[in-house]
Chains A and B, each alone.
Chain A
């Protein structure tokens, strides 16, 4: 089978400012992200032949995309794949173009978390079982990962927390350079260590924010892209993996890695033809919902050897000046995580980096960029997407 590599181009993108947008409705988030993308691509909304809306809990069906934009009588599908929802919209749109069914399509991700009291949409969660069980916030899983990781690699809780704090500090530093980020403030290791404990051993500054946001991408064939403009990027690989909750069902999961991260990245690398990710990838936007996860991602995605992420963090390898900058825009830490929007917001950063539009946070000679989302706790889903510049 022919893969997706070099068969689909992204010719335009838009992204709202992320944050606690009390005065913006879901419609506003759709309009602001999509109008920017249309203008960037140099197309008219009437050129869109089909669209995908990624939203976890801010709307059902394609109508929340059609209504604000007045996309008249075109096929629109709403997709949901928890934290991978935005990436999933891109994936479906890309496959439709690659299939030759539609020439220009829209993928929009939008989430209005802050209309839910506290930021989570409990009432809308699926009625898939009784819920008579431990039902805890996502922080708990990642805290368990941290507890076990520290234990396994012989770190005290204090040493482990200091290590994780450096990741938060790095992302906050990048966030300051990122005008659309929710949090734009430099912090110190002390800030993290002194912040209130939310889920031991993770404290407030180990966690990403809760924000509203929207992001959009226009996808088309490389041929049409070439006719529209000179600056566009190409999809190199799309790796989506769904787990079946294996880690909790039996006793052999190590709580040191996420098998989904490993499998999804391997699938994407295979499709993109990447053999040595640490060398071949120029920058990455990864799912740093909690600092411990970014640490584990370094190892799972092959950026660091197992158990060696600590050395790379302490060497500054993943900072803006390092050999593989990660979360150059501040990541989920500074953008928050409006589920439907996050995956496309990450592509927006990769797009700007590959097109050398990233301003003060520009990574030199960035040619290959990666986005990564993990949905839910282990055994859920993961998507790794790889993009490349044209030259």
Chain B
């Protein structure tokens, strides 16, 4: 059996909503230093918890908001997750159904024995025009799944896909904000028609009837769409449909059906049949069956924990500043001009420190050095060290400063972190409340954008206060 062996979700800490933007509930908003890559990495790391990273043969990443038009994003996610150099990577771009399509491609790869395990990540942070309807509906978030053929917790047993050409929702390379045609047309001829065809095809192919399913996990373009579709197909939305979380999360694009799937799996029982529907330029319907193994992978933070752990964005101006909509300069250097003019070859040489957060541990005396050193500070041994990963270590604040001369994230909180097991480093602290910071505070590491300069998005690790 091929299916999901592990999964993880990620929802940013920040929320925006209410009267300020004319919405009833709230939506998840990525911090200024997050993007689809960093959120996919966070979901991936959550998904890989306690599992052997060396078993992953491929990484797929689905999004409509990749930071680069030319340069892969899956490769950055693979590095941040410290996956082996021998991993294969692919980006699934430009379609809202990219998440479910990537999942199906992973099933194909494992079924064909071209990979033992494939990690599928998906993340989006689409922007609606300020104060317009899309802005109220779109949220930011990510999900990740590992697909394999051993220790399967959720079998992916059948699927049915349709593709049709329709311009219901789109964005060209010149657009900052998502465009769409009127909701009546998009809903009727797009989502409802194609969704029905995909679900109908799957039911027929798998010889199942609506009452055979414990849970329906449907992408939906608006609060009522999925319930209407479920009802039309003979299901009972009240008892079977997964809450689309639009008033607490928002529509997270390609990752939307996958975060909803993660939320459903957080509560699923062995034997449950789940119908997953991805939509965009067509639709993917998948039949999933939960196994006994699901109980073995509950040791992670679920969607509910992420949704409950939140801070409200201080005001709408802050959101506009974070997205570079007040002043394009805000998207560039967040902290200081010291960061300009990176030498790309230097970045390349330091890639294991930057992307994998490796330190060097002296084989002779055990001293952990960060950044990695060739000659030990303590015993002066030469070139005798092991690389050790600090990104999944917890740490403690030894001392800190708060720099009020910063730009976007003022004051920039800069702690010195002592890692469990050795190693010390100076990092920016993100997702923080300056009133909570003190010596001895426990932190963990998170992969973030550190600055943007000369057309390069620079990623690095930051510390953040323990979220859970």
Chain A positions within 8 Å of B, measured between CB atoms, are: 118, 120, 122-123, 125, 127, 129-137, 139-141, 143-145, 147-148, 151, 196-200, 244, 246, 248-251, 253, 255
Nearest CB of chain B from residue A339's CB, rounded to whole Å: 16
Say yes or no: A130 contacts B373, CB within 8 Å: no
Q: How far is the CA of A196 from the CA of B377 in the complex (A)?
A: 39
- Contact (Cβ within 8 A) A134 B404: no
Asked whether A134 lies within 8 Å of B427 as measured between CB atoms, the reply is yes
19 A-B pairs, CB-CB below 8 angstroms? A122-B340, A123-B341, A130-B346, A131-B342, A133-B426, A134-B426, A140-B403, A143-B402, A144-B414, A147-B399, A148-B439, A197-B402, A197-B411, A199-B403, A200-B401, A200-B402, A244-B377, A246-B377, A253-B424
Interface residues of B (CB under 8 A from A): 335-343, 346-347, 349-350, 354, 367-371, 373, 377-378, 398-405, 411-412, 414, 416, 418, 422-428, 439, 450, 458-460
Residues of chain A with a CB closer than 8 A to B399's CB? 144-145, 147-148, 151, 255
Q: From A251, which residue of chain B is reached at the shortest CB distance?
A: B424
Q: Is the CB of A125 within 8 A of B338?
A: yes
Contact between A132 and B458 (Cβ–Cβ < 8 Å)?
A: yes
Contact partners of A141 in chain B: CB under 8 A: 401
Pair A255/B416 contact, Cβ less than 8 Å: yes
Contact B405 A137 (CB under 8 A): yes
Closest to A253 in B: B424
Q: Is the CB of A248 within 8 A of B426?
A: yes
Residues from chain B with a CB closer than 8 A to the CB of A132 are 339, 342, 347, 350, 354, 450, 458-460
B335–A136 touching, CB < 8 Å: yes
Q: Contact at A133–B404, with CB atoms within 8 Å? A: no
Q: Which residues on A sit within 8 Å (CB–CB) of B367?
A: 250
Chain B residues lying within 8 Å of A244, measured Cβ to Cβ, are 377
Residues of B within 8 A of A248 (CB): 416, 424-426
Chain B hits for A249, CB < 8 A: 369-371, 373, 377, 424
Contacts of B404 in A (CB 8 A): 196-200
* B342 lies within 8 A of A130 (CB): yes
A137:B347 contact, CB within 8 angstroms: no
Residues of chain B within 8 A (CB-CB) of A133 are: 371, 426, 450, 460
Contact check, A123 vs B340: say whether CB atoms are below 8 A apart. Answer: yes
Query: Cβ of A139 and Cβ of B401 under 8 Å apart?
Result: yes
Q: Enumerate chain B residues within 8 angstroms of A130, measured Cβ to Cβ.
A: 342-343, 346-347, 349-350, 354
Residues of A within 8 A of B400 (CB): 144, 147
A137: chain B residues within 8 A (beta carbon)? 336, 338, 403, 405
With A131-B346, A244-B377, A248-B426 given, name 15 new contacts (CB 8 A): A122-B337, A127-B341, A132-B347, A132-B354, A136-B335, A137-B336, A137-B405, A139-B401, A147-B400, A151-B399, A199-B402, A200-B403, A250-B368, A251-B368, A251-B423
* Chain B residues with CB below 8 A from A250, complex form: 367-369, 377-378, 424
A135, B350: Cα distance in complex, Å: 16
Q: How far is the CB of B462 from chain A (nearest CB, A)?
A: 9
Measured in the bound complex, the distance between the Cα atoms of B335 and A197 in whole Å is: 16
Contact B341 A199 (CB under 8 A): no
Q: Which of B335, B343, B349, B423 contacts A135 (CB 8 A)?
A: B335
A255 to B416 alpha-carbon distance, docked (Å) = 10
**Lowest 3 CB-CB distances: which A-B pairs, in order?**
A143-B401, A135-B338, A200-B402
In the complex, which residue of chain A has the Cβ closest to the Cβ of B458?
A132
Contacts of B339 in A (CB 8 A): 131-132, 135
* B346:A127 contact, CB within 8 angstroms: yes
- The complex places the Cα of A248 from the Cα of B400 at a distance, in Å, of 13
Query: Considering the chains assembled together, what is the distance between the CA atoms of A130 and B460 in angstroms?
Result: 12
Chain A residues whose C-beta falls within 8 Å of the C-beta of B459 in the assembled complex? 132
B-side contacts of A246, CB under 8 Å: 377
Question: Which chain A residue lies CB-closest to B347?
Answer: A130
Assembled-state Cα–Cα distance A140/B399 (Å): 11
Asked whether, in the complex, the Cβ of B368 is within 8 Å of the Cβ of A140, the reply is: no
Complex Cα spacing A257 to B450, Å? 30
Nearest neighbor of A141 in chain B, beta-carbon distance: B401
Q: Is the CB of B422 within 8 A of A251?
A: yes
Among B336, B369, B371, B418, contact of A136 (Cβ-Cβ < 8 Å): B336
Chain A hits for B418, CB < 8 A: 251
Write the chain A residue with the least CB distance to B333: A135
In the complex, which residues of chain A have a beta carbon less than 8 angstroms from the beta carbon of B369?
A: 249-250
A122 near B338 with CB under 8 A, answer yes
CB distance from A239 to the nearest CB of B (A): 22
User: B458, A136: Cβ atoms under 8 Å?
Assistant: no
Inter-chain CA distance A134–B336, complex, in Å, is 10
- Chain B residue numbers with a CB within 8 Å of A125 are 338
Residues of B within 8 A of A251 (CB): 368, 398, 418, 422-424
Q: How far is the CB of A348 from chain B (nearest CB, A)?
A: 31
Q: How far is the CB of B423 from chain A (nearest CB, A)?
A: 7
| Most chain A C-beta atoms within 10 Å of own C-beta, residue among B337, B399, B418 | B399
CA–CA, A264 and B170, complex, Å: 65
What's the nearest-Cβ distance from chain B to residue A181, in Å?
24
- Measured CA separation A144–B425 after assembly (Å): 13
Expressed in whole angstroms, the minimum distance between the Cβ of A161 and any Cβ of chain B is: 14
| CB-nearest residue of chain B to A125 | B338
Evaluate whether A129 and B405 lie within 8 angstroms (CB atoms) in the complex, with A134-B426, A137-B336, A147-B399 already known. Answer: no
B414: chain A residues within 8 A (beta carbon): 134, 136, 140, 144
Question: Can you name the residue of chain A whose Cβ is closest to the Cβ of B419?
Answer: A251
A118 to B340, CA, bound (A): 15
Give the complex CA separation of A127 and B458 in angstroms: 17
Bound-state Cα–Cα, A142 to B25, Å: 44
CA distance A200 to B398 in the complex (A): 15
Contacts of B426 in A (CB 8 A): 133-134, 248
CB distance from A130 to the nearest CB of B (A): 4
Tell me which residues across on chain A come within 8 A of B373, comparing CB atoms.
249
Complex Cα–Cα for A143 and B405 (A): 13
Chain A residue at smallest Cβ distance from B459:
A132
Rounded to whole Å, the gap between the CB of A310 and the closest CB of chain B is: 18
In the assembled complex, the Cα of A244 lies from the Cα of B347 at a distance in Å of 22
Shortest CB-to-CB span from B80 to chain A, Å, is: 13
Q: How far is the CB of B433 from chain A (nearest CB, A)?
A: 14
Q: Which chain B residues border A199 with CB–CB below 8 Å?
A: 401-405, 411
User: With A and B bound together, what is the CA distance between A135 and B334 in angstroms?
Assistant: 11
Closest Cβ–Cβ distance, residue B395 to chain A (whole Å): 10
Residues of chain A contacted by B424 (CB below 8 angstroms): 248-251, 253
A285 to B398, CA, bound (A): 31
Closest to A129 in B: B346
Whether the pair A136, B403 counts as a contact (CB closer than 8 A) is yes
Distance between Cα atoms of A251 and B418 in the complex (Å): 7
Chain A residue at smallest Cβ distance from B338: A135
How long is the Cα–Cα vector from A215 to B368 in the complex, in angstroms? Answer: 44
**B425: chain A residues within 8 A (beta carbon):** 248
How many Å lie between the Cα of A127 and that of B341 in the bound state? 8
> Smallest CB–CB gap between B463 and chain A, Å?
10
- List chain B residues, Cβ under 8 A from A127: 341, 343, 346
What is the CB-to-nearest-CB distance from A84 to chain B, in angstroms, rounded to a whole number? 20
